[in-house]
Structure 1
Amino acid sequence: MSDGNLSPVGWYVGSYLLRFIELDKSGNYDDENKFLSWENTVLVQASDPEDAYDKLEQIASEHTEPYKGGAEGVAVQWVFEGVTEILPIYEELEHGTEIMFSESTRKLKNLKKIVKTKGDFAL
């Protein structure tokens, strides 16, 4: 592990993937079937990326209990598929702290397509 992966402030941004299934439906483990999924991103306080990984698994497992869904009370469950990302935070958390960034090279017209207006976020 390089020092660049270690957060000097003990915080990480981590993401994990959950998949929604109906428990009595066939094909829940068919790699060709499509499923509703959520990739959740959370802050994790951890000593290193391995500790962050363990904590992400724990957080995700809290959302995987089977339950009865919909008007018919169908047995459903969110299945934990795994951790998708762990990124160290390099600065103390406060207003305006950068917690993530991405780097890319794109045409200006494509850059303009990804920018949103304030109204795009209005409730």
Structure 2
Amino acid sequence: MAYIPKDAEWYIAELVIECNVEGNPHNVVHVNIVLVRASSPEEAFEKAEELGYQENSTYLNPKNQTVTFTYRGLRHLDVIHDELEHGAELMFEEKIGICESELKQMLTPKSQLAIFLPLKPIDPSKPDYSSKEIMDEVAKIVN
């Protein structure tokens, strides 16, 4: 088992959620990274699974197609060693023997970071998993 500090109370979990839209052959998979507060790895696992199962849902999109979100499982679960504050390390990844060109490929210029990219137009081939109920409410507000 990994090293777990005695006073550990925070864990980080990667939940894998699959979305299927009726009539569309393509699924959409989300990996949601969430914080889990627990007093042991076993409790963290149970709480992470609970969070994942809470993602299960079914509703209609604006085209009256059934949209289904299904929790598929955990991709990763680990303890957070630091206290949660500015600069706390949440996760790390270790790679050994990386050459300079590979290392440079790992870096993303500021202008290409997702947070700074403009919104993209909706790709018509992408499954529409928006909620009809919510979109109808938005239409009422905007119109």
Q: TM-score range by the shorter chain?
A: 0.7 to 0.9
Q: Which runs of 4+ in 1 moved over 4 A?
A: none
The answer for the alignment partner of 2:36 in structure 1 is 44
Amino acid at match of 1:59: L
Rounded to whole Å, the distance in 2 between the matches of 1:73 and 1:34 is 17
Aligned length: 114
Q: Which structure has the larger Rg over C-alpha atoms? A: 2
Rounded to whole Å, the distance in 2 between the matches of 1:7 and 1:73 is 51
Provide, for residues 30-55 of structure 1, a one-character-per-residue CA deviation record: whole Å limited to 9, x for no partner: xxx86321111111111112111111
Rounded to whole Å, the distance in 2 between the matches of 1:8 and 1:118 is 36
Q: How much has 1:61 moved relative to structure 2? A: 2.0
Match of 1:103 among 70, 94, 100: 94
Unaligned 5+ segments in structure 1 are: 26-32
Match of 2:84 among 82, 93, 104: 93
Contact 1:6 1:48 in 2 (8 A): no
Q: How much has 1:6 moved relative to structure 2? A: 5.2
Matched residues, percent identical? 27
* TM-score, normalization by structure 2: 0.70
Give the number of the structure with larger relative contact order, counting CA–CA contacts within 8 Å between residues 6 or more apart.
1
* Stretch of structure 1 that moved more, 84-93 or 55-64: 55-64
Unaligned 5+ segments in structure 2 are: 118-143
> Helix, strand or coil: the match of 1:66?
strand
* Stretch of structure 1 that moved more, 58-67 or 40-49: 58-67
* TM-score, normalization by structure 1: 0.81
Rounded to whole Å, the distance in 2 between the matches of 1:101 and 1:51 is 22
Contact 1:15 1:86 in 2 (8 A): yes
- Say whether 1:18 aligns with 2:17: yes
Indicate the RMSD between aligned Cα atoms, in angstroms.
2.2
> Helix, strand or coil: the match of 2:57?
coil
